[in-house]
Amino acid sequence: MYTETEFLSATTTPFSYFPIVLQLLAAVGFVGITMFATHFLGPKRKTSDKLINFESGIEQVGNARQPVAIKYFLTAILFVLFDVEVIFFYPYAVNFRDLHWEGFIAVLMFVGFFLCGFIYIVKKGALKWED
Q: Quick check: 11 pLDDT over 70?
A: no
Please give the full DSSP string across 58-101, using - where no structure is assigned: BPP-S-S-----HHHHHHHHHHHHHHHHHHTHHHHHHHHHHHHH
- The share of the chain scoring above pLDDT 90, in percent, equals 18
What does each C-alpha distance from 52 to 38, 39, 57, 63 come to in angstroms? 21, 20, 12, 13
Ordered by where they begin, the domains of the chain are 4-124 (1.20.58)
Instruction: Provide the 3-class DSSP secondary structure of residue 17.
Output: helix
Which pLDDT belongs to residue 105?
A: 92
C-alpha separations of 7 from 11, 63, 94 in Å: 6, 65, 34
The answer to whether residues 121 and 78 touch, using CB atoms and an 8 Å cutoff, is yes
pLDDT level of residue 32 (50, 70, 90 thresholds) = very high
